[in-house]
Amino acid sequence: MPIIDLRSDTVTQPTEEMREAMARAEVGDDVYGEDPTVNALEELAAQKVGKERALFVPSGTMGNLVAVLTHTQRGDEVLLEAESHIYYYEVGGLSAVAGTIPRLIQGDHGWISPEQLEAHIRPRDLHFPPPRLLCLENTHNRAGGRAFTPEQITRTCAVARRYGLKIHLDGARIFNASVALGVDARALTRDVDSVMFCLSKGLSAPVGSILAGEREFIERARKARKMLGGGMRQAGVLAACGIIALETMIPRLAEDHRRARMLATGLARIPGLSVDVEGVQTNIVLVEIEGPDGDAREVVQRLRSFGILVNAVGKRTIRLVTHRHITDEDVEKTLEAFSAATKSL
Ligand code: TLP
C-alpha cells in the first residue's frame, strides 16, 4: 500500500540535484573553518535573513539551544509563548542545559502582543531572576503554522527593546512565513538579534539548520555549538544540500500552502471534524475531532490502516503537514480516508 506521510515536512527526501551536489561537494575540516561548502552556505544563509554571519548546526533544536546559551547566563529568565516549540518540544534544554528559567506567555494563536509582553516583564528586583531573552516563533508550529507579519514583529520587539531584552526568533519555517505573506524573509528578521531556520523541513535538505546573527554573537555561538558536540568535520556534503535548498526550494513552498488549504477545506466538510480553514496560512493543518468520544489517537490508528500517516498533537487534535512529496491526488485520498476513519465516531 502506498504511504501518504503527512506527519511532518521533516520527512522530505533530498532531491536528485542535492544528491549529486553531495557527491561533488568540496569539503574540509569545518572545525578549522576550512570547509569551503559550509562557508559558502553560511554566507548565503546570513544574506537570506539579513544578518552579518551564520552558523550551520545539525538541527533546529541545537540551533535554538545554542542561541539561548549564547544570549543568557544561568539563572536568567527567558520569556516565551506557552506553546512554543522551544518550551514544548526541546526536552527542556533551556533549563536542563542553559540553566535558564522560562516565563510562559499564553499568546493569541501563538503570537505575543506588545501588551502581553509588557504585562509579563517584571521590574528589576532582588527576588526576581533577571529577564534577559524573548523568544518568538514564526511560523508557529502548535498554532497550526500561523505566520506573523513584519508589523506585528516590530511592535512586540519594540517592547522587548525598551526593557533591554535580547530577541531570538525560532524561524524553523521562516520561508513558509515569507512566501505566505509575500514579504522578504529579511522583513521578518530585521527586529531580532538572532534567528534559527531549518533547511531540513519544507526545503528538503536531509539534515541541518542555520543560526544567524551579528558577527560577535555568531563567534560566541560557534563555541557553544562546539561545547554541545555540534562541531562537524567534512560537513560540506550536507551544506551542499543546504545551498540548493536556499537557492531553489523556497518558491515551491506556495504549493504546499495551497494543498494545506485544500486539505483544510475538505476536512471541514466532513461531519465530526472541525477545522479553522482561514487559520491555515502555511503548510500545517490542525483538525479537531468533535463528539464526546473524539479521540485523536484512535483516528490516527485508523488512518494508518489506510496508509495515511498523521500525528496526534492533542487529545482531540490531529496535525497534517504538507510538503514536496504530497500531490493533489494524495490530498483527495487523505480526505476519503478521513471520511471513512471518522464515520463511526
Ligand atoms: N518540529 C518538528 C517536531 O519537533 C515537532 C515537526 O515535525 O514539526 N522549531 C520549530 C518551530 C519546529 O517545528 C521544529 C521541528 C524545531 C524548532 C526543531 O527542529 P529539529 O527537528 O531540526 O531539531
pLDDT band at 300 (very low <50, low <70, confident <90, very high): very high
The answer, yes or no, to whether any atom of ligand 1 lies below 6 A from the CB of 8, is yes
Nearest to 273 by CA among 261, 283, 263: 263
**Residue whose C-alpha is closest to residue 156's, from 80, 49, 75, 103:** 80
Q: Which residues contact 325 (CB under 8 A, 6 or more apart)?
A: 5, 11, 12, 13
Coil, strand or helix: which one is 116?
A: helix
10 CB within 6 A, ligand 1? yes
pLDDT above 90 (res 188):
yes
Does residue 203 lie within any of the structural domains? yes
Domain-embedded: residue 279? yes
Nearest ligand 1 atom to the CA of 61 is: 23
Q: Position of cell 531549518?
A: 198
Instruction: Give the ligand 1 atom nearest the CA of 209.
Output: 22
Q: Please indicate, yes or no, whether residues 265 and 241 belong to a single structural domain of this protein.
A: no
Q: Is 6 part of any domain?
A: no
What average pLDDT does range 255-262 have in this prediction?
Answer: 98
pLDDT of residue 156: 98
| 244 and 256 fall within a common domain | no
CATH number at residue 329: 3.90.1150.10
Q: Which atom of ligand 1 is nearest to the CA of 198?
A: 22
Indicate the top mutation candidate among 87, 196, 201, 318 to test ligand 1's pocket, ranked by most ligand atoms within 8 A of CB: 201
Q: Which secondary-structure segment (H or E) carries 175?
A: helix 174-181
Classify residue 205: in a domain, yes or no.
Answer: yes
| 206 and 264 within one domain | no
Whether residue 178 sits in one domain with residue 72: yes
Q: Is 3 inside any structural domain?
A: no
224 in the same domain as 91: yes
**Residue 281 binned pLDDT confidence (cut-offs 50, 70, 90):** very high
The answer to the question of residue 4 being in a domain is no
Q: Based on the domain organization, do 174 and 33 belong to the same domain?
A: yes
Asked if pLDDT for residue 130 goes beyond 90, the answer is yes
Q: What's the pLDDT score for residue 160?
A: 98
> Is 2 inside any structural domain?
no
How confident is residue 294, by pLDDT bands cut at 50, 70 and 90?
Answer: confident
* DSSP-assigned beta bridge partners for residue 111: 108
- 148 pLDDT exceeds 90? yes
Best mutation site among 170, 198, 317, 318 for ligand 1 pocket (most ligand atoms within 8 Å of CB): 198
The residue from 248, 265, 285 where one domain ends is: 248
Q: Work out the percent of the chain whose per-residue pLDDT is above 90.
A: 97
> Nearest residue CA, atom 8 of ligand 1?
8
Q: How far is the CA of 193 from the centre of ligand 1 (A)?
A: 20
Q: Distance between CA atoms of 221 and 51, rounded to whole angstroms? A: 14
Where residue 243 falls among pLDDT bands split at 50, 70, 90? very high
Select from 248, 267, 287 the last residue of a domain.
Answer: 248
Substitution candidate for ligand 1 out of 9, 141, 225, 282 with most atoms within 8 A of CB = 141
Instruction: Return d(Cα 300, Cα 64) in angstroms, integer.
Output: 30
Ligand 1 centroid–CA 292 distance in Å is 31
For residue 209 and ligand 1, the question of a CB distance below 6 A is answered with yes
CA 320 to CA 275: how far, in whole Å? 12
User: Which residues, listed in sequence order, are joined to residue 53 by a DSSP beta bridge?
Assistant: 213
Ligand 1 centre from 171 Cα, in Å? 10
Report pLDDT digits (tens) over 88-106: 999 999 999 999 999 999 9
Cα-to-centroid distance, 197 and ligand 1 (Å): 10
Return the axis-axis angle of helices 36-48 and 236-248, rounded to nearest 10°. 30
Strand, coil or helix: 224? helix
Q: What is the Cα–Cα distance from 333 to 311, expressed in whole angstroms?
A: 17
Helix (H), strand (E), coil (C) string for 23-71:
HHCCCCCHHHCCCHHHHHHHHHHHHHCCCCEEEEECCHHHHHHHHHHHH
**Which band of pLDDT confidence, cut at 50, 70 and 90, is reported for residue 292?**
confident
Q: Is the pLDDT of residue 345 over 80?
A: no
pLDDT tops 80 at residue 344:
no
For 156, residues 6+ apart whose C-beta sits below 8 A from its C-beta are 111, 112, 113, 114, 117, 134, 136
The Å distance, Cα 172 to ligand 1 centre, comes to: 7
Q: Which residue's CA lies nearest to atom 20 of ligand 1? A: 60
Closest Cα partner for 83 from 11, 136, 155? Answer: 136
Tell which of 213, 248, 283 closes a domain. Answer: 248
Report how many domains make up the chain.
Answer: 2
CA 61 to ligand 1 centroid distance, Å: 7
> Any idea what the CATH number is for the domain that residue 142 is in?
3.40.640.10
Q: Are residues 187 and 239 in the same domain?
A: yes
Q: Are residues 144 and 37 in the same domain?
A: yes
Residues 237 and 291 grouped into a single domain: no
Evaluate: CB of 80 within 6 angstroms of ligand 1: no
Rg (CA), the chain: 20
Phi-psi region of 144 (alpha: psi -120 to 50; beta: other; left: phi over 0): left
Q: How far is CA 7 from the centre of its chain?
A: 14
Same-domain status, 69 and 131: yes
Do 239 and 258 fall within a single domain? no
Q: Are residues 132 and 45 in the same domain?
A: yes
**Cβ–Cβ under 8 Å, residues 110 and 136:** no
Report how far residue 340's alpha carbon sits from residue 75's, in angstroms, rounded to the nearest whole number. 52
Q: 5 lies in a domain? A: no
> Which residues form the domain of 230?
13-248
Our mutation pick for probing the ligand 1 site, out of 85, 87, 111, 136, counting the most ligand atoms within 8 A of Cβ, is 85
